[in-house]
Amino acid sequence: MEDYAVKLKNVSKIYTLKNKDKTKTKIQFYALKDISFKVDKGDTVGILGTNGSGKSTLSLLLSGISDHDGGTLDINGEQALISINTGLNMQLTGEENINVKGALLGLSKKKIQDIKDKVIDFAELGDFLYQPVKKYSSGMKSRLGFSISLALDPDIIIVDEALSVGDKGFAQKCLNHMRKIRDEQNKTIFFISHSLGQVRDFCTTGMWIEGGVLKEFGEINEVCDHYAEYVDMLNAMSEKDKKAYLNDKFKERIITNPPKKGLWDYIFR
């Protein structure tokens, strides 16, 4: 049995974007560039970074939804991206939605029955459970969605800002639950959040992604400190400097000499 959960070596992800001037030419853009790291089982990794730096792209790659374009990506175990509103059907009641989402996630009928009580208990929705989800507030929806996702039993859990909707109390409850399963069952958790407090409190390892490249990977508090400094620095800049700075960053990520495209690529974009 290997001890690592995830191992990435020089992983890149390229997106094709439309060019600014309305010509037909498209530009290629590094969403992620040469990312290499290794995460052990039972680790909790907090992923930090400003908007558009590639955090969500990384979460898509880690959860196996999207394919990477270069490098090698080894995942040891079953992974699941925790998504809140996905698969909830607005017309159906909360109770029926447990079945819907359970089925979408590929659970068997028996397994869904098994987790149902746990989910109901965890979501704390009361009588709203028997109302159609369209009547729910956004916080209630996220409670239901999150509770169903948590009832799954993946080895690697990826949380992409899923806790930012619910109230503080519920967020804390979820964190405690995740901490419990991590410690008891040696789960690996990737936690993407903009709340530095939560990340510091919850994670053991920090990962800072900036402009599609891995800037820092190490002890959580150190990474958090450096990231906070960076954000402060950005905020301290004048509007004009900031714009120029971010523009430069963006340009760095564009692939200047895209490889010659074959006919196949033209047909399929």
Q: Under the rule (CB under 8 A), what is the footprint of another protein? A: 15, 60, 63-67, 79-81, 83, 85-87, 89-92, 96, 99-100, 103-106, 108-109, 132, 267-269
Q: For another protein, give the closer residue by CB, 193 or 205.
A: 193
Q: Radius of gyration over alpha carbons of the chain, in Å?
A: 20
Q: Closest distance between another protein and the C-beta of residue 105, in Å? A: 7
Q: For another protein, give the closer residue by CB, 145 or 166.
A: 145
Q: Closest distance between another protein and the C-beta of residue 57, in Å? A: 10
Q: For another protein, give the closer residue by CB, 197 or 262.
A: 262
Cα distance between the two ends of the chain = 41
Q: For another protein, give the closer residue by CB, 163 or 223.
A: 163
Q: Closest distance between another protein and the C-beta of residue 149, in Å? A: 9
Cα–Cα nearest to 218, from 229, 204, 230: 204
Q: In what order do the strands lie in the sheet with 213-219?
A: 79-82, 156-160, 188-192, 44-48, 205-210, 213-219
Contact 119, 101 (CB under 8 A): no
Cα–Cα nearest to 182, from 43, 7, 78: 43
Cα 28 from Cα 258, distance rounded (Å): 7
Q: For another protein, give the closer residue by CB, 53 or 63.
A: 63
Q: Which residues are paired to 191 by β-bridges?
A: 46, 159
Q: Closest distance between another protein and the C-beta of residue 101, in Å? A: 9
Q: Closest distance between another protein and the C-beta of residue 73, in Å? A: 12
